[in-house]
């Protein structure tokens, strides 16, 4: 009944957990190998995480940065996608147990396991903040954040109490890394340009946006000279940047920093990530961030057939762990795939994994970016053009590329944003 081969049980099985950058690149590296690849994810889509903040700020819509994982089955004959949640890993028996979509548990045996489960947001022990300060890791997160931001303006527009209006029009972004900086700048652009003229009773350009960083400067990944430029540009956009500012408390009314309360209805969390709890099932040694410490071939020490890659792995190079960025995920995932292919084909094994840093990029608002590669440092419009070209080239599908181009051109030309939707709340059923 099928137009494709059924899974061949006699070939070695490579089981990949996670369909992010690391997972799909591991699969791709095994495309021409005589293996059966099973890719397990609990979402049916690969997500282009670097642009999530644009969904959160209504620049683009979810489908534009997500691609169905199923399409991989079409492109790669030796791969099957399984939509399921991993509930157990048995390294001895070489099997994982998964809760399959639609009910029922299923066990999958493997010959090789590649764990690419990525990272999730962390509130550094303050999980109670999560209720008031949403974070940004999934499409669901981004849509919830977008609705929260747009609702704040609606409430501001409908209230007649000036202090409540000002509270609704104050936005705090926690975390001065790329996510926080991109979010704060995009919020500022939204307030000063996109929403301008959309409300008669309020002036969105009067919004107050505060970026809160606990460290002594924003963007520690970049050279200090670029971070200074970034802060200047943020301030030009109307973002107030607070450094050395530790968040002590967050509730419905606002955020407390150094004993001072900032009254704000919307707090967005861009502060920290931690590894997926699935990693605990491996019983391996982890670093402070919960990431599994791997050997130079990205294997779990003592388990020749188990690899951890991407944000889930603590890969030490030149004495420091590599950052949780897309490039590390892509390169490490691909490397693990190549190690397995070499071993199976009896070819010479690749040398130890070595990350090639193609450079750091961060975008600040509509047409300003930072770019750093080795000793080359750029900031401004030209860096933004490079950022835009790289991101368009990277988007996983032709279709998305076309659509994001159209969207960006449109946003750029008109200052309008196309995805300003507040989803209906489930309890609303009439009118």
CB of 81 to its own copies, least distance (A): 8
Q: Is 182 a catalytic residue?
A: yes
Which residues in 131-160 contact its own copies (CB under 8 A)? Answer: 138-140, 143, 150-151, 154-155, 157-159
Stretch that binds its own copies, among 276-284, 330-338, 343-351, 370-378 (CB under 8 A): 276-284
Among 34, 74, 235, 253, indicate the residue that binds its own copies (CB under 8 A). Answer: 74
Encoded one letter per residue, x for contact with its own copies by CB under 8 A and - for no contact, window 198-217 reads xxxxxx-xx-----------
Per CB under 8 A, does 100 bind its own copies? Answer: yes
Per CB under 8 A, does 95 bind its own copies? Answer: no
How open is the CA angle 389-394-396, to the nearest 5 degrees?
140
CB of 220 to its own copies, least distance (A): 27
Distance CA 393, CA 353 (A): 25
Per CB under 8 A, does 86 bind its own copies? Answer: yes
CB of 101 to its own copies, least distance (A): 5
Distance CA 197, CA 299 (A): 56
Tokens of 81: 């996608």
C-beta of residue 322 within 8 angstroms of C-beta of residue 17: no
Q: How much of the chain is in helix, strand and coil states, percent to nearest 5?
A: 35, 25, 40
Among 34, 44, 109, 225, indicate the residue that binds its own copies (CB under 8 A). Answer: 44
Selected catalytic residue, list 182, 193, 213, 372: 182
Per CB under 8 A, does 97 bind its own copies? Answer: no
Return the axis-axis angle of helices 224-236 and 178-189, rounded to nearest 10°: 20
Among 14, 113, 190, 195, indicate the residue that binds its own copies (CB under 8 A). Answer: 195
Residues in the interface with its own copies (CB under 8 A) total 87
| Element spanning 331, H or E | helix 326-344
Among 257, 278, 294, 308, indicate the residue that binds its own copies (CB under 8 A). Answer: 278
The pair phi, psi for residue 257, each rounded to 5°, is: -125, 125
CA distances from 87 to 71, 196, 277, 400 (A): 25, 48, 11, 33
Per CB under 8 A, does 251 bind its own copies? Answer: no
Distance CA 336, CA 330 (A): 10
| Helix, strand, or coil (residue 7) | coil
Distance CA 98, CA 107 (A): 6
CB of 98 to its own copies, least distance (A): 9
* Choice between 377 and 403, CB closer to its own copies: 403
DSSP symbol at 135: B
- Phi-psi group of 282: left, alpha or beta (phi > 0 → left; psi -120 to 50 → alpha; rest → beta): alpha
Stretch that binds its own copies, among 4-12, 178-186, 215-223, 353-361 (CB under 8 A): 4-12
Among 101, 235, 285, 287, indicate the residue that binds its own copies (CB under 8 A). Answer: 101
* Choice between 30 and 242, CB closer to its own copies: 30
- Kindly list the catalytic residues: 182
């Amino acid at each position: 009944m099928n137009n494709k081969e059924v899974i061949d049980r006699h070939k070695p099985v490579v089981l990949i957990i996670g369909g992010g950058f690391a997972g799909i690149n591991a699969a791709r590296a095994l495309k021409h190998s005589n293996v059966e690849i099973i890719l397990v994810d609990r979402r049916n889509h690969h997500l282009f995480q670097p642009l999530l903040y644009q969904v959160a700020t209504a620049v683009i819509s979810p489908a534009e940065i997500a691609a169905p994982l199923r399409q991989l089955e079409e492109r790669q004959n030796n791969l099957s996608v399984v939509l399921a949640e991993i509930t157990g890993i048995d390294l001895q028996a070489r099997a994982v147990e998964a809760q399959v979509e639609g009910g029922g548990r299923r066990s999958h045996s493997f010959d090789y396991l590649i764990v690419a489960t990525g990272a999730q947001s962390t509130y550094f022990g303050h999980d109670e903040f999560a209720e008031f300060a949403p974070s940004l890791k999934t499409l669901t997160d981004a849509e919830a954040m977008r609705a929260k931001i747009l609702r704040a303006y609606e409430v501001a527009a409908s209230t007649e109490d000036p202090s409540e209006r000002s509270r609704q029009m104050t936005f705090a972004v926690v975390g001065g890394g790329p996510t926080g900086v991109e979010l704060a700048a995009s919020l500022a652009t939204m307030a000063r340009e996109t929403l301008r003229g959309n409300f008669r009773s309020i002036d969105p350009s009067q919004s107050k946006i505060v970026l809160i960083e606990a460290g002594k400067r924003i963007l520690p990944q970049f050279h200090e000279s670029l971070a200074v430029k970034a802060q200047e540009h943020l301030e030009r956009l109307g973002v107030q940047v607070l450094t050395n500012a530790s968040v002590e408390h967050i509730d419905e009314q606002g955020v407390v920093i150094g004993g001072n309360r900032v009254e704000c209805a919307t707090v967005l969390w861009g502060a920290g990530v931690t590894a997926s709890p699935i990693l605990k099932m491996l019983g391996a040694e982890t670093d402070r961030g919960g990431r599994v410490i791997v050997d130079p071939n990205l294997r779990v020490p003592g388990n020749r057939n188990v690899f951890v890659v991407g944000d889930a792995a603590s890969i030490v190079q030149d004495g420091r762990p590599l950052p949780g960025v897309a490039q590390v995920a892509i390169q490490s995932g691909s490397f693990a795939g190549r190690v397995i292919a070499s071993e199976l084909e009896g070819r010479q094994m690749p040398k130890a994994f070595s990350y090639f840093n193609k450079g750091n990029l961060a975008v600040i608002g509509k047409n300003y970016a930072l770019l750093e590669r080795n000793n080359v440092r750029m900031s401004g419009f030209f860096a933004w053009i490079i950022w835009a070209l790289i991101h368009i080239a990277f988007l996983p599908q032709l279709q998305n590329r076309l659509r994001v181009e159209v969207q960006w051109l449109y946003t750029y030309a008109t200052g309008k944003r196309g995805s300003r939707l507040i989803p209906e709340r489930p309890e609303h059923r009439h009118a």
